[in-house]
Amino acid sequence: MQLAEIVRVAFGSLLSHKTRALLTMLGIIIGVGAVIAMVAVGQGAQAAVEAQIASLGRNVLIIWPGASFGGGVRSGSGTEVTLTEDDVDAIRSQCPSARYVTPATRTNRQVVAGNLNWSTTIQGGNTEYFWIRDWRVRSGEFFTESDVRGATKVCLLGQTVAQNLFGGENPVGQTIRIDKLPFKVIGTLEPKGQNTMGSDQDDIIIAPFSTVQRKIQRQDHIGSIFLSAISKEKIFEAQEQVRELLRIRHRLSDWQDDDFTIRTQTDIASMASATTDIMTSLLGSIASVSLLVGGIGIMNIMLVSVTERTREIGIRMSVGARRRDILGQFLVEAIMLSVVGGIIGVGVGTLASNLISTLAGWAILLSPASIAIAFCFAILVGVFFGFYPARKAAALDPIEALRYE
């Protein structure tokens, strides 16, 4: 038999049992649809996390005082006072892989504007902080180096703060009070959304570092150092240069642990990607079980079909059909069930992904690769689970098959 004839006979056999064929394909449809939808959810989450990490800025490194592990005691970064403004100046002048660097300090305060108030984060930095964070002004302007040197009481508002204190009114030029100190709003910032921890990055006020340090916190140490490497490829090099420089400046011996902690944007991205990769793989694996169940359903129905058509197989063999023709016929039937089920499953998976995005508000990412893999896997399932029934049909003895009732 020619391939075209085998396909025609197989197609006719499936059409003669439409309901049974549809129910058999249902497992494949659900399996393919589930794989596509779950992988789309996982990849959407990964893309959202990558966008959040990108919102941190350009090739960012963050240095906190205190080591995460030192002297046998876990103290956690930020638990000691080990960084100074002289360290910032040294990094700027002696670390060629660092492009921008700023001291930073952070605190939470109640802010008042007119008869409204809002509890928010006050972030202090110099003019390079905005370049490091890749943060643009929506309206107004940035503060200047003279504002930093003079500890001027000026600030820029994140969109969340601006909305809660001023509503639809333009806050630029207005005055707010932080710890009863009047601050002039000179600008508002472009929105950045949530970070990888789910915190609102726009719920923030940024002011000159010296102003926050001296007039709000009333302290003489710095909370952290932000810096930006000259390129993505130079992040690790910048990290090593900074680490070596700070160890020398802090007079640490070879046997002593670092008294600071350095985290890079790459570190954060790697940790977040590892989590989302595990989630995507887990969701895809769970959904793939449906495909296996669908494959078992195909094998079950094909075995029933072989039993029902035993006399037909005997007649075909008696008029000249070879065993490979019988094998091909039943194998093609199984593959056709998988192919048609896979095509419908792709549509179901795409629709389900869009419904999840619309109803649940989750980010999804439908990639052609995941769709192709799910579809090809469905075909492989059809071949794998259809081969045994097809082989059983081809192995029937023609005489015994003709006697079968």
Q: What is the mean pLDDT of each run of 10 residues along the chain (405 residues)?
A: 68 75 83 84 76 73 73 47 88 91 93 91 93 90 93 94 90 92 93 74 93 90 90 88 92 88 77 68 74 79 74 72 76 84 89 84 80 86 81 72 57
Beta pairing class for 154-157 and 181-189:
parallel
**pLDDT of the residue at 374:** 84
According to the model, what pLDDT value does residue 140 have? Answer: 92
Looking at residue 119, what is its pLDDT?
A: 93
Contacts of 63 (CB under 8 A, 6+ apart): 83, 224, 225, 226, 227, 242, 246, 260, 261, 262
Distance CA 344, CA 374 (A): 12
**pLDDT confidence of residue 299:** 81
Q: Provide the token pair at 226.
A: 């932000």
Tokens of 266: 């790459």
Which residue in this structure is represented by tokens 């009863």? Answer: 180
DSSP annotation of 255: T
pLDDT of res. 339: 87
Q: Would you state the structure tokens that stand for residue 392, as one six-digit string?
A: 């059983």
Looking at residue 269, what is its pLDDT? 65
Check residue 194 and report its DSSP letter: B
Beta bridge partners of 117: 112
pLDDT of residue 270: 67
Q: What pLDDT, on the 0 to 100 scale, is given for residue 399?
A: 64
Alpha-carbon dihedral 129, 132, 134, 140, rounded to 10 degrees? 20
Q: Residue 206's pLDDT is what?
A: 95
Q: In terms of Cα–Cα distance, which of 234, 209, 195, 206 is closest to 58?
A: 234
pTM above 0.75, yes or no: no
Cα-flanking dihedrals φ and ψ of residue 216, to 5°? -105, -55
Residue 268: CB atoms within 10 Å: 18
Q: Which helix (H) or strand (E) holds 102?
A: strand 98-113
Tokens, residue 297 = 């359903």
| Residue 74 · residue 84 · CB < 8 Å | no
Residues in the chain: 405
Asked if 345 and 29 count as a contact pair (C-beta separation under 8 A), the reply is yes
Q: What is the largest CA-CA distance in the chain?
A: 104
Tokens of 315: 């007649």
| 3-state secondary structure at position 86 | helix
- Please report the pLDDT score of residue 163 as a whole number: 93
Phi and psi torsions of 17, nearest 5°: -130, 65
